[in-house]
Chain A
Amino acid sequence: MIKIYVPRDSSAKAVGAGEVALAIAAEAASQKISVQIIRNSTRGMAWLETFVEVETPRGRVGYGPIEVGDVKRLFAAKFYEGAKHQLGHGLIDELPFLKNQERLTFVRAGITDPVSLVDYIANDGFEGLKKALNMSGAAIVTEVTESGLRGRGGAAFPTGIKWKTVHDTSADQKYVCCNADEGDSGTFADRMVMEGDPFMLIEGMTIAGLAAGATKGFIYIRSEYPDAISTMKEAVNIAVAAKWLGQNIQSTDHSFELEVRRGAGAYICGEETAMLESLEGKRGMVRPKPPIPALEGLFGKPTIINNVLSFAAVPYILARGSTAYKNYGMGRSRGTLPFQLAGNIKQGGLIEKAFGVTLRTLINDFGGGTFTGRKLRAVQVGGPLGSYLPDSQLDLPMDYETFAANAAMVGHGGVVVFDDSVDMAAQARFAMEFCAIESCGKCTPCRIGSTRGAETIDKIVAGENRDANLLLLEDLCQTMTDGSLCAMGGLTPMPVMSAVKHFPEDFDKPARLQAAE
């Protein structure tokens, strides 16, 4: 039986993977070729989707991007035997895009069927949890602390310290909450974990539960990710049935329950306290801190809140030890970060690399430059609240501290590339506009400042008292930075001011037009 893999990830389905799988099945049936079609996770090479793989004695070979119209020709070329074809890419393990990565978290990406427990366990799944089941909570916390893992959602707070706080606080009930409200444009690694390797997230959260003494967990997934929601729900049910979740996990005294909850299209719910409010069935209004959620979180109880990627890094750390993880990275940024290369890029997708890689390496060596072939002008790193960087800053090593020192942030690892057709004043205005749309409204700098900011940028672009309004914008941004309750209003000035600083010519259009006349 020939094994053919067609990804079920939404990045593949959104370009017709479902139809391709059906076409392959139909063609195989009509040619009386016996094939087994496996809907695997994605390798994270978005430009090659739909990426079809065939198992051969030499290893898996890949073909892409495949559309329904290509299927008959693939069969004519005997792709099912791994034969050469113009859309063929040869042995997948030899592809430079994958070979040059350091995939610790995404080690199973593209290899397994996401909802097959057999596949998961055969590929080192639950090795971390098996160890954790025989460890004390304090020992698990120590292992995570020593790995140097920091919050992958963007804030980069040391995960071990957060876990220790919850561990050390006594309460009748504690919770573990996974923030899967991945709303930053340019990011999709959380989605890939949930759609592609859901048991890894379950394993990571269960380990967190054991570490802190929490018996109940929630995964808060944004509604824009319908496939992630259904895959996670399916995986939770499978894990419960196999006793990897629920009462007496693997016949031990440990128990951990997990519930999947849907968001409802509010970006602010990616802020941890707004997410807690939302999980309690309320408006996603940001809570003032203190108290920190580790002391008073969900329903007022001590709560571990981490991003999908933080939890997903934990099984590896427990299975291989903190040193194995810590050995990757630079400075105080330890381990790997799954970077997401997006926007105007020829070869976009997921690139898991140790901290320290440069943007230029990601964009040129992995990404192959802009999609349009035009000159690169700006790169936004870290989502809609991250800075726009000009070409001259692309050689900075990707490290939390280096980026912070350069008025930028690594954030969740999203990298959005823009070519020279971009209007940076429009991008700055959009940052303010987005903040106005998504602000929860609790604090004034964010709620009012964002609208005033958009208006002020309009005036600047129209040439109305430009210098005075630029000063006003700067002042407003300072107020938002200093006075906002959370990162929404507090960081919106980053894209705005970076655009003003690095691309001043775009805020000076009428003058340029006059100069041209």
Chain B
Amino acid sequence: MAKKTTLIDLHFGKSDPATPICARYGNKPDALLEILHDVQHELGHLPETSLPAIAHALNLSRAEVYGVATFYHDFHLKPTGKHSLKLCSAEACQSMGGRQLIAAVEKYLKVKMGETTADGLVTLEATYCLGLCASAPAIMIDNKPVARMNVEKMKSIVEGLRT
């Protein structure tokens, strides 16, 4: 179980997985976004225990690190599903039935945007443009963009994740 951190707890071990990641970037505070990306990539989310370790390594306040981690849509402070399914919710995709696609996927997975399926398989998220606007609607599944999307194609992608 993860060690519980409180505001006055200054004894986060050198063993935090974020510490070597910070070192890889020379503990430079301007690399904070890169570091948060890498920590999240390794751990699946940004654990509460890692933020003070990052702050310590970069010589930032915890508030600064927390502020950055909560500002950007990409970062998650809570665990997410095994897979990330991002549906483009911007205008070009809307013009090609993006809204209807989102509604159909929400119904199929029985979750709303921003939620994770009960089996923990997929977290559904909105994204605003994947740069595939001439092949709309587009989605991104675990960093892999897929275009000319429709409900049937989407279902087969989700079923593919189960196996």
Number of residues of chain B lying within 8 A (CB) of chain A: 43
Residue contact B33 to A348, C-beta cutoff 8 Å: no
Decide yes or no: A281 and B127 within 8 Å by CB, A185-B92, A265-B72, A344-B95 being known contacts: no
Report yes or no: B91 in contact with A384, Cβ–Cβ below 8 A.
yes
Within 8 A of A (CB), among B114-138: 127-136, 138
Query: Which residue of chain A has its CB nearest to the CB of B136?
Result: A343
Residues of A close to B74: CB separation below 8 A:
223, 264-265
- Which of B30, B90, B94, B145 interacts with A13 by CB under 8 Å? B145
Is B33 within 8 A of A186, CB to CB?
Answer: no
Digitize A271-306: 1 where CB-to-B-CB distance is under 8 Å, 0 elsewhere: 000000011111110000000000000010000000
Q: Is A341 an interface residue (CB 8 A)?
A: yes
Which residues of B lie under 8 Å from residue A11 when comparing CB positions? 131-132, 134-135, 147
In the complex, are the beta carbons of B73 and A265 less than 8 A apart?
Answer: yes
Q: Which residues of B contact A340 (CB under 8 A)?
A: 133-134
Question: Among the interface residues A11, A224, A225, which one has the most CB atoms of the partner chain B within 10 A?
Answer: A224
* Interface: A338 (CB within 8 A): no
Q: Which residues between 129 and 153 of chain B lie within 8 Å of chain A, taking CB atoms?
A: 129-136, 138, 140, 143, 145-148
Kindly report which residue of chain A lies nearest to residue B138, judged by CB atoms. Answer: A14
Q: Do residues A264 and B33 form an inter-chain contact, with CB atoms below 8 A?
A: yes
| Distance (whole angstroms) from the CB of A214 to the closest CB of chain B | 17
Q: A262-B33, A264-B33, A266-B72 are known contacts. Are A427 and B128 too (CB-CB below 8 A)?
A: no
Encode contact with A along B19-53: 1 for CB under 8 Å, 0 otherwise: 00000000011111110110000000000000000
Query: In the complex, A89→B146 CA distance in Å?
Result: 25
B67 on the interface (CB 8 Å rule)? yes
CA distance A422 to B97 in the complex (A): 10
| In the assembled complex, A506 has its CB within 8 A of some CB on chain B | no
Instruction: Check if A348 sits within 8 Å of B68, measured CB to CB.
Output: no
**A371: interface (CB < 8 Å):** yes
Asked if B75 CB lies within 8 Å of chain A CBs, one says yes
Q: Is the CB of B91 within 8 A of A267?
A: no
Set of chain A residues within 8 Å of B132, measured between Cβ atoms: 10-11, 14, 46, 188
Of the candidates B37, B91, B140, the one whose C-beta lies within 8 Å of that of A343 is B91
List, in ascending order, chain B residues with CB within 8 A of A265's CB: 72-74, 127
**Least CB distance, B150 to chain A, in whole angstroms:** 12
Within the complex, what minimum Cβ distance (angstroms) separates B30 from chain A?
A: 4
How distant is A194 from chain B, measured CB to nearest CB, in Å? 10
Interface-forming stretch among A98-106, A198-206, A410-418, A507-515? A410-418
Given the interface contacts A284-B71, A418-B95, A438-B128, does A15 sit within 8 Å of B134 by beta carbon?
no
B13 to chain A, nearest CB (A): 24
Count of chain A residues with Cβ under 8 Å from any Cβ of B?
A: 59
Other-chain residue from B34, B128, B130, B136 in contact with A267 (beta carbon distance below 8 A): B128
A284–B74 alpha-carbon span in the complex (Å): 13
Closest partner residue, chain A, to B129 (CB atom):
A185
> Which residues of chain B are within 8 angstroms of A264 by Cβ–Cβ distance?
33, 36-37, 72-75
Report whether A430 and B72 are in contact in the complex, using a CB–CB cutoff of 8 Å.
Answer: no
Within 8 A of B (CB), among A384-423: 384, 414, 416-419, 422
In the assembled complex, B154 has its CB within 8 A of some CB on chain A: no
How far is it, in angstroms, between the C-alpha of A438 and the C-alpha of B68 when the chains are bound?
15
**B-chain residues with CB within 8 Å of residue A179 when the two chains form the complex:** none
Contact A10 B131 (CB under 8 A): yes
**A348–B135 contact, CB under 8 A?**
yes
- Contact A223/B37 with A49-B135, A283-B67, A371-B96 known, Cβ cut-off 8 Å: yes
Q: Does B93 contact A (CB under 8 A)?
A: yes
Let me know if A226 is at the binding interface, CB within 8 A: yes
Distance in angstroms between the alpha carbons of A283 and B68 in the assembled complex:
5
Q: Is A342 part of the contact surface with B, judged by Cβ < 8 Å?
A: yes
Taking the closest CB of chain A, its distance from the CB of B160, in whole angstroms, is 14
> How many angstroms between the C-alpha atoms of A49 and B145 in the bound complex?
14
| Contact status B148-A15, CB under 8 Å | yes
In the complex, chain A residues whose CB is within 8 Å of the CB of B64? 282
The answer to whether A224 touches B71 (Cβ under 8 A) is no
Contact flag A183-B135 (CB < 8 Å), given A14-B146, A279-B30: no
* Contact B75–A185 (Cβ < 8 Å): no
> In the complex, what residues of B have CB within 8 A of residue A219's CB?
none
Let me know if A281 and B31 touch, CB within 8 A. Answer: yes
Nearest A residue to B35, CB-CB: A281
On whether A416 and B92 interact (CB within 8 A), knowing A14-B147, A280-B30, the answer reads yes
* CB-nearest residue of chain B to A367: B134
Contact of A46 among B36, B58, B67, B134 (CB under 8 A): B134
What residues of chain A lie closer than 8 Å to B136, measured between beta carbons?
342-343
Binary contact track B68-81/A, C-beta < 8 Å → 1, others 0: 10011111000000
Smallest beta-carbon distance B54→chain A, Å: 11
Q: Is A41 an interface residue (CB 8 A)?
A: no
Q: A278-B33, A343-B92, A416-B91 are in contact. Are A188 and B131 (CB under 8 A)?
A: yes
Q: How far is the CA of A279 from the CA of B30 in the complex (A)?
A: 6
A262 contacts which of B37, B73, B135 (Cβ < 8 Å)?
A: B37
Residue A261 is within 8 A (CB to CB) of chain B in the complex:
yes
Asked if A416 contacts B95 (CB within 8 A), the reply is yes
Q: How far is the CB of A51 from chain B (nearest CB, A)?
A: 12
Q: Does A345 make an interface contact (CB < 8 A)?
A: yes
Contacts of B93 in A (CB 8 A): 185
A434 at the interface (CB under 8 A from B): yes
A-B contact pairs, 17 of them (CB 8 A): A14-B132, A14-B148, A15-B146, A187-B131, A224-B127, A264-B73, A264-B74, A265-B72, A265-B73, A267-B128, A282-B64, A341-B134, A342-B92, A380-B91, A416-B95, A427-B94, A430-B91
Which residues in B have some Cβ–Cβ distance to A below 8 Å?
Answer: 28-34, 36-37, 58, 64, 67-68, 71-75, 88, 90-96, 127-136, 138, 140, 143, 145-148
Given A13-B145, A344-B96, 14 extra CB contacts under 8 A: A11-B132, A14-B145, A14-B146, A15-B135, A46-B132, A46-B134, A187-B131, A224-B127, A224-B131, A278-B33, A281-B58, A283-B68, A342-B133, A422-B95
